[in-house]
Amino acid sequence: EVQLVESGGDLIQPGGSLRLSCVASGFAVSDTYMNWVRQAPGKGLEWVSVIYSDGSTHYADSVKGRFTISRDNSKNTLYFQMNSLRAEDTAVYYCARGGTLLWGQGTLVTVSS
Partner 1 sequence: DIQMTQSPSTLSASVGDRVTITCRASQSVSKWLAWYQQKPGKAPKLLIYKASSLESGVPSRFRGSGSGTEFTLTISSLQPDDVATYYCQEYNSYSWTFGLGTRVEIK
Binding flags for partner 1, 8-27, as an x/- string (CB under 8 A): --------------------
Q: Beta strand 77-82 with 18-25: parallel, antiparallel or unpaired?
A: antiparallel
CA distance 21 to 80: 7
Residues 35-64 that bind partner 1 (CB under 8 A): 35, 37, 44-47, 50, 52, 58, 60
Region of residue 99 (left: phi > 0; alpha: psi -120 to 50; beta: else): left
Applying CB under 8 A, the residues found at the interface with partner 1 are 33, 35, 37, 44-47, 50, 52, 58, 60, 94, 98, 100-106
